[in-house]
Amino acid sequence: MCGIIGYVGKRKVSQVLLHGLKKMEYRGYDSSGIAAVSAGGLKILKSVGKIENLERKYSETPIEGIAGIGHSRWATHGVPSEINAHPHKDCSGKIAIVHNGIIENYGELKSDLIKKGHKFISDTDTEVAVHLIEDCYDGNIEEAVKCALPKLKGAFSIVCLSSDEPEKLVFARMKSPLVVGLGKDEFFVASDVIAFLSFAREAVYLENGELGIISPEGLKIYKFSGEEVKYKTSMILWNADMAEKNGFKHFMLKEIYEQPASISNTLAGIITNDGFSFSDAHIDLDLIKKVRRISIVACGTAYNAGLLGKYFIEQIAKIPVDIDVASEFIYRESLPCDDSLFIVVSQSGETADTIEAVKKVKSKGSGIIAVTNVVGSSITREVDGVIYTRAGFEMGVAATKTFTAQSLVMYALALYLAEAKGILSKNAIAPYIAELKLLPEKMEEILKNVKNIRRVARMFHSCRDFLFLGRNLNYPLALEGALKLKEISYIHAEGYAAGEMKHGPIALIDCDCPVVVIMTKSFLYDKVISNIKEVSARQGIVIGVASEDDMEAESYTRVLIKIPSASPYASAILAVLPLQLLSYYIADVRGCNIDKPRNLAKSVTVE
């Protein structure tokens, strides 16, 4: 949450900052600000609302310099307002900082600093950091930041600018992401590479406890303890095009349409001639043969993909799997089990709760692998191995293509485990792999036929409540369908295991309540039909998502959305597409801000 950026170079500094902030708006978007040092000293521009408001201010009062810093905010401490927007400055007005994260001991630091005569104007935790730096300042900004850092507790990445050294930025990372971009005679530092994709092809990912300096002379990185770090540069694999809408009305729609490609790419990364390979995950085959339990931990949509993974792994590899949302897992007394493997699923690799879960697992000495989309993200540095989804950059706040890519990885992992444990032979796995290769084509078919889904969206966009039901592999899809609808359309929606409906939610059903039932063919089909009948008997409106070859489905449902026929496993990856599209078109008819839903941020870096 919150996006921070810094730039040193010859381009128009504020334009680079504004461009970067717009690209990172998905991280937070209630207010924003930039700072640069010109002949008249440190200048700051701030604005509430979208970055466009800040751009408007900039066009009226441009500020420029050799170096500059910027911030887009997702409020934690203090309401969205110009006063609380970053950059924050010290009492002298010479030093400014931007910050992402939470400074947990800001209360005590603030009282001490007030006693020393510092004047605070905002309600933020960030302001203590700049006053602390001022307190340490003796003409050298680098030394002042080094002196202030050990006093800060919590999660933070900061970038600091001083009007006494206007060509230099000092930055530091502790638990919140920060990456440096290396251009030709220009340097960037930001929460995410997306901020400088158009300008730099090489990046240096900072580790926790590292501090860096960029100036026209180059980049230096030190440990907080003062020792210089020999940093490694990485090529940036994403390109600037991924951060453009390319003719689509919203990023979310573009990303829904990118799913055939994202599935092909993810598959290409893990498939071999006759099976799967997870070389980056460093999965030890001897350990896998001994694994007695798998625990999956994740949040939000990634949790739903993890839950689908539980069904895949239990049914295919016959290994018991438990699953937790990370925010519960970290404070739960989880009982240790020998020979267990943990899997964390996180699109961004930066979710604070999931990172804490990883730390908890590591402290107990269990093996842990991550399924993530972001190379070099915090989680990848903490785990024993990584399986990358190759979905490309996901800009829409509502996750779509990463959900299907994560689901695919979980399915492939289940097959891999089954083979490693001798449950399925290579020959037996071949037809599953053949079917996986058909997924992109089947997804294309769904995406070509959205007319019916748009019609359904127009029919039900004004309903106040929705229920989503599914059994077994389709239960996680019901959760995901409901999550998508509520986050982008603000319609109340609940996802339920279809068999659980009669234990409570059935009370909600009446003639105004659409009930989306994922009813693709499986061994539980008849039981799902019974659940549908229970809904219809109470005048509920059943919207079915069924397989193309299901000739009975029409007779059970008021409205029907069909998807290409496939095995129950492959159907579970396909059937989420109509749910994503339904949410998208409902939100669009309602005129919602689809790519930036209220109160949400893409990367949730606070607990």
Give the nearer residue to ligand F6R in terms of CB position, either 210 or 255: 255
Which of these segments, 30-38, 127-135, 300-308, 557-565, binds ligand F6R (CB under 6 A)? Answer: 300-308
In the block, tokens 């078109």 appear at: 585
Q: What are phi and psi of 297, to 5 degrees?
A: -135, 135
DSSP state string for 54-99: HHHHHHHS----SEEEEEEE--SSS-SSTTTSSPEE-TTS-EEEEE
The distance of closest approach from Cβ of residue 487 to ligand F6R in the complex, given in angstroms and rounded to an integer, is: 6
Place of tokens 């061994």: 523
Q: How far is the CB of 344 from ligand F6R (least distance, A)?
A: 8
Whether residue 87 has a cis bond before it, omega within 30° of 0: yes
Q: Which is nearer to ligand F6R, 127 or 394 (CB)?
A: 394
Segment interacting with ligand F6R, rule: CB under 6 A, options 16-24, 306-314, 346-354, 519-527? 346-354
2 is catalytic: yes
**Calpha distance 153→175 (Å, rounded):** 11
Q: Considering the complex, what minimum distance in angstroms separates the CB of residue 405 from ligand F6R?
A: 11
Burial of 240 (0-12, 13-18, 19+ CB in 10 A): middle
Of 269-277, 312-320, 340-348, 562-570, the segment contacting ligand F6R by CB under 6 A is 340-348
Among 295, 346, 380, 472, binds ligand F6R (CB under 6 A): 346
Q: Is 136 exposed, middle or buried (0-12, 13-18, 19+ CB in 10 A)?
A: middle
Q: Give the CB-nearest residue to ligand F6R.
A: 300
Q: Two tokens at 369? A: 């692998």
Q: Restricting to residues 526-585, which ones interact with ligand F6R according to CB under 6 A?
A: none
- Considering the complex, state which of residue 346 and residue 547 has its C-beta at the smaller distance from ligand F6R: 346
Q: Does residue 300 bind ligand F6R (CB under 6 A)?
A: yes
Count of residues for the chain?
607
Considering only residues 155, 299, 478, 566, which one is a binding residue for ligand F6R as defined by CB under 6 A? 299
Stretch that binds ligand F6R, among 3-11, 228-236, 343-351, 469-477 (CB under 6 A): 343-351
DSSP readout, 152-217?
--EEEEEEEEETTSTT-EEEEEEBS--EEEE-SS-EEEESSGGGGTTT-SEEEEPPTTEEEEEETT
- Of 5-13, 205-213, 348-356, 433-441, which segment contacts ligand F6R by CB under 6 A? 348-356
Print the binding letters for residues 52-81 with ligand F6R: x by CB under 6 A, - otherwise. Answer: ------------------------------
Answer yes or no whether residue 144 interacts with ligand F6R by CB under 6 A: no
Question: Does 506 engage in binding with ligand F6R (CB under 6 A)?
Answer: no
Q: Which is nearer to ligand F6R, 347 or 520 (CB)?
A: 347
Please report how close the Cβ of residue 144 comes to ligand F6R at its closest, in angstroms.
34
Residue identified by tokens 């996006």 is 3
Which among 60, 56, 62, 51 is positioned nearest to 5, based on CA atoms?
51
* CB 186 to ligand F6R: min, Å: 29
Is residue 602 annotated as a catalytic residue, yes or no?
Answer: yes
Please identify which residue in 197, 399, 509, 576 interacts with ligand F6R, judged by CB under 6 A: 399
340 binds ligand F6R (CB under 6 A): no
Angle at 385 between CA 383 and CA 386, to 5 degrees: 100
Does the protein bind ligand F6R through residue 301 (CB under 6 A)?
yes
343 binds ligand F6R (CB under 6 A): no
C-beta of residue 24 within 8 angstroms of C-beta of residue 190? yes
Burial code (b: 16+ CB inside 10 Å, e: under 16) for 450-489 equals beebbebbebbbebebbbbbbbbbbbbbbbbbbbbbbbbb
Which residues neighbour 227 within 8 Å (Cβ) at sequence distance 6 or greater? none
To the nearest whole angstrom, how small is the minimum distance from the Cβ of residue 400 to ligand F6R?
8
Residue 354 makes contact with ligand F6R by CB under 6 A = yes
Query: Which of these segments, 235-243, 294-302, 425-433, 460-468, binds ligand F6R (CB under 6 A)?
Result: 294-302
Q: Of 22, 360, 442, 602, which residue is the catalytic one?
A: 602
Q: Which is nearer to ligand F6R, 262 or 348 (CB)?
A: 348
Residues 442-481 that bind ligand F6R (CB under 6 A): none
Name the CA radius of gyration of the chain, rounded: 25
Of residues 187 and 251, the one with the C-beta less far from ligand F6R: 251
Q: Which stretch binds ligand F6R (CB under 6 A): 91-99, 344-352, 361-369, 426-434?
A: 344-352
Q: How far is CA 246 from CA 103, 240, 251, 400, 601, in A?
A: 39, 11, 9, 17, 22
Going by C-alpha positions, the residue among 190, 172, 185 that lies closest to residue 243 is 190
Which residue in the set 144, 189, 398, 561 belongs to the binding site for ligand F6R (CB under 6 A)?
Answer: 398
Q: Which among 399, 365, 366 has a CA at the least distance from the CA of 296?
A: 366
**What is the rounded distance in angstroms from the CA atom of residue 244 to the CA atom of residue 596?**
15
Which residue type occupies 487? E
Smallest separation (angstroms) from ligand F6R to the CB of 373: 8
327 belongs to the binding site for ligand F6R (CB under 6 A): no
Cβ neighbours of residue 564 closer than 8 Å, sequence gap 6 or more? 442, 445, 446, 547, 548, 574
Q: Cβ of residue 153: shortest distance to ligand F6R, in angstroms? A: 24
Is residue 302 a contact residue for ligand F6R (CB under 6 A)? yes
Residue 115 burial class via C-beta count within 10 angstroms: exposed 0-12, middle 13-18, buried 19 and up: exposed
- Taking CA atoms, 118 is separated from 107, 130, 137, 152, in Å, by 14, 10, 13, 17
Cβ contact 132:109 at 8 Å? yes
How is the chain split among helix, strand and coil, in percent rounded to 5?
40, 25, 35
Nearer to ligand F6R by C-beta: 24 or 316?
24
The least CB distance from residue 295 to ligand F6R, in Å, is 16
**How many residues of this chain interact with ligand F6R, rule: CB under 6 A?**
15
Residue 135 or 487: the one with the smaller Cβ distance to ligand F6R is 487
To ligand F6R, the closest distance from the beta carbon of 484 in angstroms equals 6
Q: Is 262 in the site for ligand F6R (CB under 6 A)?
A: no
Stretch that binds ligand F6R, among 32-40, 169-177, 295-303, 452-460 (CB under 6 A): 295-303
Measured from the CB atom, is 589 or 600 closer to ligand F6R? 600
How far the first Cα of the chain sits from its last, in Å, is: 11
Residues taking part in catalysis: 2, 602
Q: Which residues bind ligand F6R (CB under 6 A)?
A: 299-302, 346-348, 351, 354, 398-399, 483, 487, 603-604
